Amino acid sequence: MRTERLRGRPGADPIMRVLGALAVVAVGVVLGLQYVTPDKRVLNVLAALVVFGIAWRLDMVTGLCLLVVLLPYPRGTVFGSTDLAFILLLLIIWLLRIGQRQSQPPRPTPVDAPLGAWLVCWVISFYNVTTLDGLSQALPNMVQFVACLLLFYLIVNNVRTGRDLKRLHLFQAISILTICLIAVYELNHPGGALVRGWIDFQGTTGDALNRHNVRVGGPFFDFELFSEFCALCIPLVAFMIVRTRAVYARGALFGLLGLLVFTLFAAVTRGAIISLGVSAVYLVFLLRRRVRIVPLTLVGGSAVATFFLANFVVSQFTRSGNLIARLGQTEFVGLVPDDRVGAWLDGWNRFLEHPIIGHGPYYGAMTGTHVWTWPHNGYLFVANYVGALGLACFVWLLVRLLQLSYPADADLSGPSYAKSFLVIAHMQIVLFMVDQMKIDYLRNGIYQFEVWVMFGSLVAAHQVARSERHDARPWPALPLAA
């Protein structure tokens, strides 16, 4: 009986034993040769095989969680960034597992129509890319956009339960921690490098050789987008605090929330603070039926006190500037901030050159002898990329996300984690839509992935909440026998 059992095991098959032994010998020979005469290409292939083997052993949700942590730190390769490589790796593994029936097949999402239409607009916009220089800029941007779509669909199709969503948020918190710690390092070492040639801060903005008024950008190397990232993450971390019952975990999340607020002020960006305030007021409006006056007063007072305290600490005890003073210096031309008038006008005039399908997915700095100012507006940026048609699809996508996340009965501490998170996801989309009026997320290849992780989490939460409602429906009563 024992012999028959051993023969049934794959490891006891003589052929498999021989093949395994040959594989070990082959790997040993290759490693020995590389030790004596190393070849960079062979080492890269071996590293890729090791990464593939590790990824294959992980479940898809864990792989996505690790990807979320790695996304802010890409390295350049001959075919693109390591972010693209990791996304393609997970895609291949997912497709193989679908073929072997180890993973569920892809499912349609409520945003397939706007996403498909927007992708078509990106492709059509290449019609107006008429120079080699423009093509060399447009193609990488197109690849980046496709990679973001793949990341979105990987999240939506593999995060299928509230537990999966909660695990994804845990790893997002880890990613937020690393990003904020790097920003703190930049604040104390402006113009320095954490890892030379990879994570350096030579472009840090500041006065007097970066000794004063430093504005940190973290691993995004862009203080405006970094401030938007912090503003978007504050509601998520606050939601995790509300949902967490463990004392130590809640304490750690409070520490992370404080770090987010600190780095948000260290970026010294007005738009993110204003957008966060607008979305917070909107959230209170959504929760008005569940909000009590005393807790609301305490939370509101604490938020105001934190605002002034954080600004005082950052402006007086660090190299960063004074955000409140900068807010007080803001001037408007009509309803437009004075430092955006020229940029928005230039972006509008450039858009009017190809208003229907756009210039193609790149922003050329010069046309003839005219130097274009960067638009500093996400909607103008999209309009310049893919025209009015593409902008309509982008707005369609955002409106659809608002509809999917709109809470009919908002409750942050309800029994369904996914349904409760949709309240925060709705707030994040509102914040993003307001903030994109003064900044453009498409200008940064690293930050784009964070936006699409947010989109994917929202749609995944909607799918999970809908499936939970479907499972909770009672079975129809059977007619009684006569």
pLDDT digits (tens, 9 = 90+) for 232-285: 999 999 999 999 989 999 999 999 999 999 999 999 888 899 999 999 998 888
- Which two structure tokens, joined as six digits, stand for 286? 């959504």
For residues 395 and 382, the answer to whether their CB atoms sit within 8 Å is no
Kindly report which listed range (58-67, 122-131, 243-252, 316-325) carries the lowest average pLDDT score: 316-325
- H/E run at residue 336: strand 336-337
- Average pLDDT of span 349-366: 89
Contacts of residue 254, Cβ cutoff 8 Å, sequence gap at least 6? 241
Instruction: Name the residue with higher pLDDT: 469 or 436.
Output: 436
* 389-395-397 Cα angle (round to 5): 105
pLDDT at 78 over 80: no
Nearest to 180 by CA among 93, 257, 126: 257
- Average pLDDT of span 312-326: 84
- Average pLDDT of span 329-341: 75
Q: Residue 343: count other Cβ atoms within 10 Å of its Cβ.
A: 19
**DSSP conformation letters of 431-449:** HHHHHTTT--GGG-TTHHH
Crossing angle of helices 132-158/60-70, nearest 10°? 140
Q: In the prediction, which pLDDT does 368 show? A: 63
Nearest to 243 by CA among 75, 457, 412: 412
- Average pLDDT of span 109-126: 96
- Considering the chain, what percentage of its residues have pLDDT values greater than 90? 48
Residue written as token pair 């937020």: 176
**DSSP conformation letters of 381-431:** HHHHHHHHHHHHHHHHHHHHHHHHH--TT--TTSS-HHHHHHHHHHHHHHH
Q: In the prediction, which pLDDT does 128 show? A: 93
Could you tell me the pLDDT band of residue 415, with boundaries at 50, 70 and 90? confident
Please tell me whether residue 80 adopts helix, strand or coil conformation: strand
Instruction: Name the residue with higher pLDDT: 89 or 252.
Output: 252
- Go through the chain and tell me how many residues it has: 482
Could you tell me the pLDDT band of residue 5, with boundaries at 50, 70 and 90? very low
Distance from C-alpha of 375 to C-alpha of 352, rounded to nearest angstrom: 13
Instruction: Name the residue with higher pLDDT: 38 or 95.
Output: 95
For residues 235 and 152, the answer to whether their CB atoms sit within 8 Å is no
Residue written as token pair 């930049």: 186
Q: In the prediction, which pLDDT does 178 show? A: 96
- Average pLDDT of span 1-21: 52
Q: In the prediction, which pLDDT does 51 show? A: 57
Burial track 427-460 (b if 16+ CB lie within 10 A, e otherwise): bbbbbbbbbbbbbbbbbbbbbbbbbbbbbbbbbb
Please tell me whether residue 181 adopts helix, strand or coil conformation: helix
Q: In the prediction, which pLDDT does 153 show? A: 96
Residue written as token pair 């005219």: 370
Q: Note the helical H segments in 14-81.
A: 14-36, 40-57, 60-70
- Average pLDDT of span 14-30: 65
Distance from C-alpha of 400 to C-alpha of 419, rounded to nearest angstrom: 17
Q: In the prediction, which pLDDT does 430 show? A: 96
Could you tell me the pLDDT band of residue 30, with boundaries at 50, 70 and 90? low
Q: Residue 299: count other Cβ atoms within 10 Å of its Cβ.
A: 14
At 370, give phi and psi (nearest 5°).
-90, 125
Q: In the prediction, which pLDDT does 156 show? A: 96
Global pTM reads: 0.86
pLDDT at 58 over 50: yes
Kindly report which listed range (30-44, 87-101, 434-448) carries the lowest average pLDDT score: 30-44
- Average pLDDT of span 77-103: 85
Instruction: Name the residue with higher pLDDT: 163 or 103.
Output: 163
Kindly report which listed range (49-63, 89-103, 247-261) carries the lowest average pLDDT score: 49-63
For residues 377 and 436, the answer to whether their CB atoms sit within 8 Å is yes
β-pair type (205-207, 370-371): unpaired
Q: Delimit the domains of the chain by residue range.
A: 111-466
**3-class DSSP string for 204-215:** CEEECCCCEEEE
Distance from C-alpha of 122 to C-alpha of 124, rounded to nearest angstrom: 6
Could you tell me the pLDDT band of residue 481, with boundaries at 50, 70 and 90? very low
Q: In the prediction, which pLDDT does 423 show? A: 92
**Furthest CA-CA distance within the chain:** 92
- Average pLDDT of span 322-347: 79
Instruction: Name the residue with higher pLDDT: 237 or 25.
Output: 237
Render pLDDT for 359-400 as a digit per residue (tens, 0 to 9). 999 988 766 667 888 888 999 999 999 999 999 999 999 999
Kindly report which listed range (55-69, 236-250, 290-304, 346-360) carries the lowest average pLDDT score: 290-304
Nearest to 119 by CA among 91, 94, 95, 142: 142
- Considering the chain, what percentage of its residues have pLDDT values greater than 70? 82
Q: In the prediction, which pLDDT does 33 show? A: 60
